[in-house]
Amino acid sequence: MQRIMKGARVTAAVVCSLAAMAGMSACGRTEGGDAKGNGSAVASIDSKPAKGDLTLWAMGAEGEKLPELVKDFEKENPDVHVKVTSIPWASAHDKFQTAIAAGNGPDLAQMANTWMADFGNAFSTVPGNLSMDDMASGPVQGGKVGGKQLGVPWYIDTRVLYYRTDLARQAGWDHAPRTWDELSAMGEDMKRLEGTDFGLYLNPAGTDNFIADLPFAFSAGASLTDKSGRKWTLNTPEMRKAITYTSNLFKDGIADVNADTSAGANMAAFASGKTPMMLEGPTAIGQVEQVGGPGMKNKFTTAPLPKGDKGSVSYSGGSDMVVFKDSKSQDAAWKMVKWMSRPETQAKWYKLSTDLPASSKAWEDPELKEDDKLTAFATQMKSMKTTPSVTTWAQVNASGDKIMEQINKGAISVDKGLEQLQSEAESAGMGN
């Protein structure tokens, strides 16, 4: 996904599932192909330069900025030409769905990690010698569907704590909150400051407010499914502990249960000092500095999420790179994916896009390594979990949004809400 908070649409998951049940190979795609890799799987990537024409689809800002990066790949591989098609995020899911059904999709594409299961039948398996040992386990796991590695992490998005250091000092704090108890205490202290309304921004309602709670759930030791991945486990003691904590943040007035949830509202409240803590991703660094104006850069920093019973565990978002089964240029496509996975390529991509590298070696680049606001992200990336790669996740996530909003606003209890969420998840099933 382009940012963490983008989810897959239920309709596409249903269409693909029905197509598979009807016997449509790869949801409209065909297997086939010749021995040269035209439409056939690539078991191993050789060292020869890539050749031929490639079509690459990418979304949003990534699609707009990728052509600049692609020039380097074409320089290294003079007999290849890459056409990048930029697609708005709002229409991307439907465009993939339509293209896959018609069998006329791209050779390779950026794929939101929450969409991997929706379209997994259309993707080729990652070649065995495309190593991902340099990448965090959470994102790598997110590229698996049905036990097969279908995606290669391209960039990572995760949540860390942002806090106003200037206001923290005024409230008597010289360090970031390290535990949930400290987060609550710091929030209480900071909201008492003049000009401050609340201590922490936490999404109380609407789209993706359930995902906003997942870092707390993961840090408490909760898992969304059992170890087999065949059963939803949303009503557990660990999940109840996390949701009790987050809902109490609203109940106690540390977070605003009626907060503005429109795009950028949390950053405006953060920059103004009205809400001096929030959980956000890497792009917020530049956005806060822009909203806050001169001097804002020195008034805030980032820190790993406060620890729960199982430590500090954040949500793993971002996008994978995938190659389509019916591509007639799979060999060249996988060579490009491998090139995009190089540490030096990923470091350059960060400089073009501010997307966090999936490669840990890319973080040795001075521009990343010496940025103190990125240190928390480098630490947090070592401890992340992703959502299940199942076609029903969007449906379950939507149920979570509705139920968490009811819990946050005191309409239902935590116990009743999680019981209902578990029931709705079981009704949705696991998409298999």
pLDDT tens per residue across span 199-227: 999 999 999 999 999 999 999 999 999 99
Q: Among 243, 168, 167, 163, which residue's Cα sits nearest to residue 200?
A: 163
Helix axes 393-408, 209-219, angle to 10 degrees: 90
pLDDT (tens digit per residue) in 329-382: 999 999 999 999 999 999 999 999 999 999 999 999 999 999 999 999 999 999
Phi and psi angles of residue 426, each rounded to the nearest 5 degrees, phi first: -65, -35
* Mean pLDDT computed over 274-292: 96
User: Does residue 273 fall inside a structural domain?
Assistant: yes
pLDDT at 28: 33
* Mean pLDDT computed over 11-38: 34
Which string of DSSP letters, residue by residue, matches 383-416? SEE-----TTHHHHHHHHHHHHHHHHTTSS-HHH
Question: What is the rounded distance in angstroms from the CA atom of residue 231 to the CA atom of residue 431?
Answer: 11
Task: Judge whether 44 and 129 are in contact, CB under 8 Å.
Answer: yes
User: Does residue 405 fall inside a structural domain?
Assistant: yes
Phi and psi angles of residue 155, each rounded to the nearest 5 degrees, phi first: -140, 160
Q: Identify the residue whose tokens are 């606003």.
A: 409
User: Does residue 141 fall inside a structural domain?
Assistant: yes
Q: Among 159, 161, 165, 160, which residue's Cα sits nearest to residue 300?
A: 165
Do 233 and 117 sit in the same domain of this protein?
no
Phi and psi angles of residue 269, each rounded to the nearest 5 degrees, phi first: -65, -35
Task: Judge whether 271 and 166 are in contact, CB under 8 Å.
Answer: no
Do 91 and 236 sit in the same domain of this protein?
no
Q: Among 262, 279, 263, which residue's Cα sits nearest to residue 199?
A: 279
Q: Which of 375, 401, 417 is the last residue of a domain?
A: 375
Question: Which class for 298: exposed (0-12), middle (13-18), buried (19 or more C-beta within 10 A)?
Answer: exposed
CATH, residue 116: 3.40.190.10
Tokens representing residue 341 in the block: 């996975």
Local structure of 333: helix, strand or coil = helix
Least confident of 37-46, 301-310, 344-353, 355-364: 37-46
User: Does residue 4 fall inside a structural domain?
Assistant: no
Please tell me which residue, 354 or 80, carries the higher pLDDT value: 80
Whether 3 has a pLDDT exceeding 50, the answer reads no
User: Does residue 2 fall inside a structural domain?
Assistant: no
Band of pLDDT at residue 432, cut at 50, 70 and 90? low
User: How many other C-beta atoms can be found within 10 angstroms of the C-beta atom of residue 310?
Assistant: 13
Instruction: Report the DSSP pairing between strands 317-323 and 108-112.
Output: antiparallel
Do 199 and 305 sit in the same domain of this protein?
yes
Question: What is the rounded distance in angstroms from the CA atom of residue 217 to the CA atom of residue 350?
Answer: 29
Domain hosting 400: range is 160-315+392-428
| Sign for the pseudo-dihedral over CA of 422, 424, 427, 432 | negative
Band of pLDDT at residue 40, cut at 50, 70 and 90? low
* Mean pLDDT computed over 29-46: 58
* Mean pLDDT computed over 23-31: 33
Band of pLDDT at residue 24, cut at 50, 70 and 90? very low
Q: Identify the residue whose tokens are 């019916």.
A: 326
Distances (CA, A) of 173 to 167, 198, 227, 280, 292: 9, 16, 40, 21, 22
Alpha-carbon Rg for the chain in angstroms = 22
Do 103 and 179 sit in the same domain of this protein?
no
Helix axes 89-102, 10-21, angle to 10 degrees: 10
User: Does residue 384 fall inside a structural domain?
Assistant: no
Do 19 and 40 sit in the same domain of this protein?
yes
User: Does residue 254 fall inside a structural domain?
Assistant: yes
Give the predicted TM-score (pTM) of the model.
Answer: 0.87
Query: What percent helix, strand, coil does the chain show, rounded to 5?
Result: 45, 15, 40
Do 64 and 102 sit in the same domain of this protein?
yes
Tokens representing residue 366 in the block: 């001075």
User: Does residue 101 fall inside a structural domain?
Assistant: yes
pLDDT (tens digit per residue) in 401-413: 999 999 999 999 9
Do 197 and 327 sit in the same domain of this protein?
no
Do 260 and 275 sit in the same domain of this protein?
yes
- pLDDT mean across residues, the chain: 90
Q: How many domains does the chain have?
A: 2
Do 324 and 291 sit in the same domain of this protein?
no
pLDDT at 1: 42
* Mean pLDDT computed over 188-192: 98
* Mean pLDDT computed over 28-41: 42
pLDDT at 34: 35
Local structure of 319: helix, strand or coil = strand
Do 266 and 343 sit in the same domain of this protein?
no
Residue type, 56: L
Which residues, listed in sequence order, are joined to residue 370 by a DSSP beta bridge? Answer: none
Phi and psi angles of residue 147, each rounded to the nearest 5 degrees, phi first: 85, -5
pLDDT at 185: 98
Q: Is 79 left (phi over 0), alpha (psi -120 to 50) or beta?
A: alpha
pLDDT at 137: 85
Do 295 and 263 sit in the same domain of this protein?
yes
pLDDT (tens digit per residue) in 116-162: 999 999 999 999 999 999 998 889 988 999 889 999 999 999 999 99
Do 328 and 306 sit in the same domain of this protein?
no
